[in-house]
Amino acid sequence: MIQFNNLNQEIPYLLFKSKYDEALNLGQKGIEAISVSTYESKTNEVDSRYVNLKFITNDEFIFFSNYDSPKASSFISHDQIAVLVYWPSINVQIRIKAKIKKTIKEYNKNYFFHRSEEKNALAISSNQSKQIDTYSQVKENYDKSFKNNDLKKCPEYWGGYSFVPYYFEFWEGHESRINKREAFNMTDGVWRRLFLQP
Ligand SMILES: Cc1cc2nc3c(=O)[nH]c(=O)nc-3n(C[C@H](O)[C@H](O)[C@H](O)COP(=O)(O)O)c2cc1C
């Protein structure tokens, strides 16, 4: 589930929320999963991964991750991302382009404090995406962290990311194949609406 707080009242945000509600009402599983694509200048590669979108607060989309992970490094090298959502229950794809930045420490600390100890033990124990010799070592590191760490204290290497879209495209599949593509582009602080051919 995504939590909406004080949602921005401009059309693309309202459309996002109304599609979300439709999909949720039809029992869409994994509704909070979004694909985030990045560019890493060190390797000249693009990459994608899913994350769970936790909040949309006004115009900011927020998820949480490890600040030492490959994605974190890519956000530094290139702060522009592409985000993708597909909700099969309503046959809607949403494409977003945005600039991304870290959330502030106080926000991370507060969010971490209220999460489950199990989730926190894993966040503390994992050097996200670093190689490890065996899978059982992951479990050992987790168990150690669960026993020995303060599970309410947010580590420096963990926290939120917030992105503010400057482009949305809503793609709606229709049986006739006459699919609807409605896009919104932010120019000079104003959302410009356009339709694209399928
Ligand atoms: C549905 C789904 C949700 C996920 N949510 C998160 C998340 O919220 N934060 C996160 O760090 N990784 C999440 N992951 C794991 C990431 O996809 C990825 O494996 C991890 O963040 C390492 O990515 P990186 O090496 O590109 O930094 C999720 C994976 C899936 C399949």
Q: What DSSP assignment string belongs to 39-92?
A: EETTTTEEEEEEEE--EEETTEEEEEEETTSHHHHHHHH--EEEEEEEETTTTE
Ligand 1 centroid distance, CA of 134 (Å): 20
Ligand 1 neighbours by CB, cut-off 6 Å: 30, 33, 47, 49-52, 63-66, 69-71, 128-129
How close is the Cα of 179 to the center of ligand 1, in Å?
Answer: 31
Residue with CA closest to ligand 1 atom 26: 71
Which residue from 52, 61, 83, 103 has its CB within 8 A of the most atoms of ligand 1, so it is best to mutate?
52
Ligand 1 atom with least separation from CA of 70: 27
What is the distance in A from the centroid of ligand 1 to the CA of 180?
Answer: 30
Task: Please measure the distance between the N-terminal and C-terminal CA atoms of the chain and give it in whole angstroms.
Answer: 30
**Ligand 1 nearest-atom number relative to CA 53:** 8
Shortest-distance atom of ligand 1 to CA 72: 27
CA of 50 to the centre of ligand 1 (A): 5
pLDDT tens, residue order, the chain (198 aa): 999 999 999 999 999 999 999 999 999 999 999 999 999 999 999 999 999 999 999 999 999 999 999 999 999 999 999 999 999 999 999 999 999 999 999 999 999 999 999 999 999 999 999 999 999 999 999 999 999 999 999 999 999 999 999 999 999 999 888 999 999 999 999 999 999 999
Ligand 1 closest atom vs CA 71 = 27
Dihedral sign for Cα atoms in the order 9, 49, 64, 157: negative
The amino acid at residue 72 is A
Which protein residue has the closest C-alpha to ligand 1 atom 30? 50
Question: For 190, how many CA atoms within 13 A lie in the half-sphere containing its CB?
Answer: 4
Residue nearest to atom 12 of ligand 1 (CA): 51
Handedness of CA 106, 111, 112, 114 (dihedral sign): positive
pLDDT score at 177: 86
Report the share of the chain in percent with pLDDT over 70: 100
